[in-house]
Amino acid sequence: MDELDFTLPAEIVHCACCIASKAARRPIEANSVRIGRRSPKTSQIAAERFLPRTGTKRKKVFDLIRAAGDVGLCDHEIEDLTGWLHQSASSIRNGLMNDGWVKDSGKRRKTPQGNGAIVWTLTDIM
């Protein structure tokens, strides 16, 4: 297995390709924000303002999913537990997924609207 480098600096990551090109997975507490390369200036400014708090939020979501064990959590459950908007909760969880910390369990649960939702669990590689 490749040696993990946990010295990556806080940065704004533009896409999953950028993440995939990193040799190591980003630490759970690492500050990072994903934005599109063509994002308007307002999105870039918002990302820069949000960046210092993302490591704490990543850790919170990771801990919630870990505490759920094999039952896992759906995005709407993360939203309920944290009180965050969908955009924040799913973005933080998506970052953990792209960094290899959480995965699609293959299970589905219904959302309050009756739609199927992915159940997220921790990856086997810890």
pLDDT in tens, 112-122: 999 999 999 99
Q: Where are the domains of the chain?
A: 11-122
Segment 66-83 mean pLDDT: 96
Query: Which of 58, 48, 98, 49 shows the shortest CA–CA distance to 78?
Result: 58
What distance in Å separates the CA atoms of residue 13 and residue 37, rounded to the nearest whole number? 9
CB 78 within 8 A of CB 121: no
Residue with tokens 């064990």: 69
Q: Model confidence at 1, in pLDDT bands (50, 70, 90)?
A: very low
pLDDT of residue 105: 95
Alpha helices for the chain (secondary structure H): 16-20, 41-50, 54-68, 75-82, 86-98
Closest alpha carbon to 76 in 26, 24, 115, 29: 115
Position 90 scores a pLDDT of 92
Residue 114's SS3 state is coil
Instruction: Assess if CATH 1.10.3470 describes domain 11-122.
Output: no
In this structure, what token pair is assigned to residue 12?
A: 């704004």
Q: DSSP class of residue 69?
A: G
